[in-house]
Structure formats: structure tokens, C-alpha cells
Amino acid sequence: MKQTAIDWGDMPMDMAEGFEHFHSANPDVFSTLVTRTRTLVARGHKRVGIAMLFETMRWDHMLRTSGNEPFKLNNNYRAFYSRLIEQTYPELGGVFTKRGSVADE
């Protein structure tokens, strides 16, 4: 596996900024997470784990992303995605168990 050098000068300074860059560059991540969440809720699941969704995305698609992100799917962004899903789709509110996070700020 070829590794690409990371230009740390172009890296975001905080997680929120990093998430915004990643989300803008990879809209398919959000749509896949929403689709998978909706599928599980439709099958009767009251709770869905954002970590599980990330891992199944990694497994099923070996997801490739664009930009200077050093990880294909950065676990630091899980909290941001769970909150964004619930804010964007109120009918999915409460489906993710959440702890306090910088994503709350």
C-alpha cells in the first residue's frame, strides 16, 4: 500500500474545521450514513451505533476519500456526523446515544 506524504501545513487546526472540510469534500459519507440509519430504523431498531456504521462503511466499500485527511474515515468525526444526521432529519432524533463532545460546541 503506497502512503502519501501529508502536508501538515494544509491540515485543519481543530476537529470542527477538519470535519467541515472532510464533509464538503466527501458528501457520499453523509448520504451513506443517513441511508444506513434509515434502513435500521425502518427494521425496528430504536438505537443505532455511529461507530458500527463507520466500520461497516469501511468494510463494505473500503471507502476512498479526497483531500488531505490522513485517515480514510476519521473516527474523530463520528460525533459530528451523528449530530448532523439528527439535526438534518428530526425524525431520526435520539437514535444515536451521545456523550458530551466538541461536536456539541
Tens-digit pLDDT profile for residues 38-73: 999 999 999 999 999 999 988 776 655 555 555 578
DSSP string, 57-98: HHHHH-----SS-SSSS-GGGHHHHHHHHHHH-GGGTT-S--
pTM of the model: 0.77
Per-residue model confidence (pLDDT) at position 89 = 97
% of residues, the chain, pLDDT over 70: 73
Q: How confident is the model at residue 4 (pLDDT cuts 50, 70, 90)?
A: very low
Please say if the pLDDT value at position 101 is more than 80.
no
